[in-house]
Amino acid sequence: MKIAILSRNPKLYSTRRLVEAATQRGHEARVIDVLRCYMNIASHRPTIHYKGEELGPYDAVIPRIGASVTFYGTAVLRQFEMVNTFSLNESVAITRARDKLRSLQLLARKGIGLPVTGFAHAPDDVHDLIKMLGGAPLVIKLLEGTQGIGVVLTETDQAAESVIEAFMGLKANILAQEYIREAGGADIRCLVIGDKVVAAMKRQAKPGEFRSNLHRGGTATLVRITPEERSTAVRAAAILGLNVAGVDILRSNHGPVVMEVNSSPGLEGIERATGKDIAGLMIQFIERNAGVRSGRTRGQG
């Protein structure tokens, strides 16, 4: 098969591994910088051009679209979908996952356990919002944040109120969430491919930190997950319509709660922690599904 990997940087671990896994399994893989694609949105013969050439047909595309290029990246991916290239994750599913409010609302509608979460627009409503969420401690998050940047723990109602007001003053979109203290600075990353959790790791925040992101100094270890965690992760990915997802779960007193669903999960941490060939499993999923489901939209809303 001819497989296009949409990635801005061929040197990234995940990109290199995907090229390696595809080549090993006898496919032709090419890394394409999504920001250098330009398109003709014609209804009779839509085309994708790249650095002066028209891209020939690909059997499958693996989107590895960074959070900062979601808008243009998903537009390029839609163009691949228009020419019936199978996408490992569809553009609409990526768009759902990138919007934290939208994805939490979709998960809530289907009964997935979530931390109590709220959002508001007007500074006048902040006081009541905090009361509605049961008061501090609260975690305040920038909606567009990644890698733990823009995630703040506030221990008192006053601190929560001033942090929310400060973000609102900067015109930043935020959500406020119940702090799951009993998780002890740890979360579980479940790597879902299709209808299976193929690997799971526990990420533990460094001492004095509550954010477990590896980019914030967290450490990853292999973990056994419960059947409930397994089914929660698989359902969360399916509700958003993602074939491949990193589902982050907190172990709360009231069972597993989903914190976020990542549509381009990094491979380095999880392959190192579990010793599994995740890139190879992604390629195998493409082998089984490319051509069968091309162009179809899954998931809700």
* Site of interaction with ligand ADP (CB under 6 A): 115, 139, 141, 145-148, 151, 177-180, 183, 187, 205, 210-213, 248, 250, 259-260
**Rounded alpha-carbon distances, angstroms, from residue 38 to 46, 64, 76, 136, 242:** 11, 17, 8, 48, 25
What is the smallest separation between the CB atom of 73 and ligand ADP, expressed in angstroms?
17
Q: Which is nearer to ligand ADP, 187 or 229 (CB)?
A: 187
Q: Which is nearer to ligand ADP, 110 or 206 (CB)?
A: 206
Q: Which is nearer to ligand ADP, 21 or 205 (CB)?
A: 205
What is the smallest separation between the CB atom of 159 and ligand ADP, expressed in angstroms?
15
What is the smallest separation between the CB atom of 203 and ligand ADP, expressed in angstroms?
7
Q: How many distinct helices (H) and strands (E) make up the chain? A: 9, 16
Alpha carbon 259 to chain centroid, angstroms: 11
Q: Which is nearer to ligand ADP, 59 or 187 (CB)?
A: 187
> Which distant-in-sequence residues (6+ apart) come within 8 Å of 180 by Cβ?
115, 250, 251, 252, 257
What is the smallest separation between the CB atom of 93 and ligand ADP, expressed in angstroms?
17
Q: What is the helix (H) or strand (E) element at residue 260, kind and residue range?
A: strand 255-262
Q: Which is nearer to ligand ADP, 82 or 151 (CB)?
A: 151
C-alpha span between 196 and 286 (Å, rounded):
15
What is the smallest separation between the CB atom of 13 and ligand ADP, expressed in angstroms?
18
3-state SS track over 60-93 = EEEECCCHHHHHHHHHHHHHHHHCCCEECCCHHH
Q: Which is nearer to ligand ADP, 146 or 294 (CB)?
A: 146
DSSP 3-state of 218: coil
Residue nearest to ligand ADP (CB): 212
What is the smallest separation between the CB atom of 184 and ligand ADP, expressed in angstroms?
9
